[in-house]
Amino acid sequence: MRHARTKLVFGEEAFEKLRGSKILMLGVGGVGSFCLDCLYRSGVHDITIVDFDRFDLSNQNRQMHSERHEGEIKVEALKTYYPEVAAISDKITPEWVEAFDFEPFDLVLDAIDDMRAKLAIIQKCHPKLISAVGSAKRLDPTKVEVRSIWKTDGDPFAAKIRYELRKRKFRGDFSCICSSELPRIKEKGSFVGVTGTFGLTMCSLALRRIGL
């Protein structure tokens, strides 16, 4: 059986919860594509993926399947490998977030890097949100961890999110995937050992939230 070994880890009851869960994956780049692959291999197939971008040459250092689909729309190309997912090729903006119905989903996984859209997502659905913050510019995957958005360390992007949330008088909380490693460069370089770890950590947390 395809999922027999996963079922051994989670147990029968928890695994059935995973199989019946409904997940929204926002962004399927360096973090999101690894998270998607992990979810699907673990038995979660009711996944809606949202991304407006196309694969290009610069994606190939960190994004799953990008080398085979240069120039193609990401979410449509990924259906080649994850045929049961629902694909939405839209740009995630604050306006898109306002119009979209998040209610049917058990969890919302945010792997985008647009600040305005991220803030809109947080404000609309933080009780069922897991968000990735700064994964670029780093080399050490052992520094990746799960923290409250209010308690990250060494992440300028997360600090900006906190600043903006305080300005909006936001008082909620949610878990984020972050790194305590300080950025090594100013340019937006990336290393798959870190971005992939972000995605796998996000998947693990999502599965534990649903099943356990």
Is the domain defined by 4-211 classed in CATH 3.40.50.720?
yes
Domain ranges of the chain: 4-211
The span from the CA of 202 to the CA of 204, in Å, is 6
Q: Assess whether pLDDT exceeds 90 at residue 54.
A: yes
Mean pLDDT of 72-97: 97
> What is the predicted pLDDT for the residue at 2?
86
Q: Which amino acid is at 136?
A: A
Rounded to 10°, the helix 115-125/156-167 angle is 60
Q: Assess whether pLDDT exceeds 90 at residue 80.
A: yes
Q: Assess whether pLDDT exceeds 80 at residue 153.
A: yes
> What is the predicted pLDDT for the residue at 187?
87
User: Of 9-13, 33-37, 126-130, where does mean pLDDT reach its minimum?
Assistant: 9-13
Of 211, 206, 174, which Cα lies nearest the Cα of 31? 206
> What is the predicted pLDDT for the residue at 146?
97
Measure the CA angle with vertex 128, ends 169 and 8; round to 5°.
150
pTM for the predicted model, two decimal places: 0.95
Cβ contact 20:13 at 8 Å: no
Q: Assess whether pLDDT exceeds 80 at residue 1.
A: no
Classify burial at 204, counting beta carbons within 10 Å of its beta carbon; exposed 0-12, middle 13-18, buried 19 or more: middle
| DSSP string for 94-144 | HHHHHHS--TT-SEEEE----HHHHHHHHHHHGGGEEEE---TT---GGGE
Mean pLDDT of 29-35: 96
